């Protein structure tokens, strides 16, 4: 499957909320679950998506919108698995916006799609300010980044429905305090589901798959 690359400059801020609402309505018309995945660069968003594709390939028709400042490295990986992938190059912007998502959706066969993952630009700050129209927000934080991130980037943690702590396979080598992390998240966003995982070893991923399957079932 070939990857379409769209280079789109960021839109004027004010119109974003309205466009995000329209994206959500478009997804709803097609009974599509749209999930916005955010994290710092290198936390494992693409690895998580690849594991999820491998697991859910026969259960849900997936598509991925990849946001990066440049390149189509991530979209190429997804596309190799036979999953439709749209690469958005943001021409320097540190986040995706609703207009970019609309253009990507217009390039997907929505009638043949159940689940759209939006892999946002790796950044814990800017993407929190821009609604995309996604139904759920998944925030990925990796162990090497440290347990203090919820206190440093509270907005992003406040918005998340699910917080995945990735790379738990390297926990013995880092001073990541799970208790301190859970306490910070609990103070900001007690409703968020916190799941420790390793996208590399597969540890903990069952919980993620079952949350996702539950969310998919509720869409139908
Ligand atoms: Mg990636």
Report CA(64)–ligand 1 centroid distance (Å).
11
Helix (H) or strand (E) holding 37: strand 33-38
Residue pair 98/20 in contact by the 8 Å Cβ criterion: yes
Q: What is the pLDDT of residues 122-149, one digit of tens each?
A: 999 999 999 999 999 999 999 999 999 9
Report CA(109)–ligand 1 centroid distance (Å).
23
**R_g over Cα of the chain:** 16
Report CA(43)–ligand 1 centroid distance (Å).
8
Q: Which domains can be identified in the chain, with CATH numbers?
A: 4-219 (3.40.50.300)
Residue pair 119/85 in contact by the 8 Å Cβ criterion: no
Report CA(178)–ligand 1 centroid distance (Å).
25
pLDDT exceeds cutoff 70 at 10: no
Q: Which residues, other chains included, contact 97 with Cβ-Cβ below 8 Å and sequence gap of 6+?
A: 10, 11, 16, 19, 130, 132
Q: Please tell me the predicted confidence (pLDDT) of residue 12.
A: 63
Report CA(44)–ligand 1 centroid distance (Å).
7
Report CA(78)–ligand 1 centroid distance (Å).
10
Q: What is the pLDDT of residues 101-114, one digit of tens each?
A: 999 999 999 999 99
Q: What is the pLDDT of residues 27-60, one digit of tens each?
A: 999 999 999 999 999 999 999 999 999 999 999 9
Report CA(35)–ligand 1 centroid distance (Å).
15
Residue pair 3/87 in contact by the 8 Å Cβ criterion: yes
């Amino acid at each position: 499957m070939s990857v379409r690359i769209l280079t789109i400059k960021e839109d004027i801020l004010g119109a974003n909320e309205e466009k995000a609402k329209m994206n959500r309505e478009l997804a709803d018309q097609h009974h599509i679950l749209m999930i916005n995945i955010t994290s710092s660069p290198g936390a494992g968003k693409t690895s998580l998506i690849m594991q999820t594709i491998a697991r859910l390939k026969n259960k849900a028709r997936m598509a991925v919108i990849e946001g990066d400042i440049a390149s189509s490295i991530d979209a190429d990986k997804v596309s190799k698995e036979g999953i439709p992938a749209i690469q958005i190059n943001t021409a320097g912007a540190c986040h995706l916006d609703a207009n970019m998502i609309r253009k990507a959706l217009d390039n997907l066969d929505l009638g043949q799609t159940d689940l759209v993952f939006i892999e946002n630009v790796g950044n814990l700050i800017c993407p929190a300010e821009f609604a995309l129209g996604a139904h759920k927000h998944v925030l990925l934080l990796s162990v090497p980044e440290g347990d203090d991130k919820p206190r440093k980037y509270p907005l992003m943690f406040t918005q998340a429905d699910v917080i995945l702590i990735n790379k738990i396979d390297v926990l013995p080598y880092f001073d990541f305090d799970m208790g301190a992390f859970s306490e910070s998240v609990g103070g900001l966003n007690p409703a968020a589901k916190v799941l420790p995982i390793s996208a590399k070893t597969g540890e903990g991923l069952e919980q993620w798959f079952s949350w996702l399957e539950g969310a998919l079932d509720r869409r139908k």
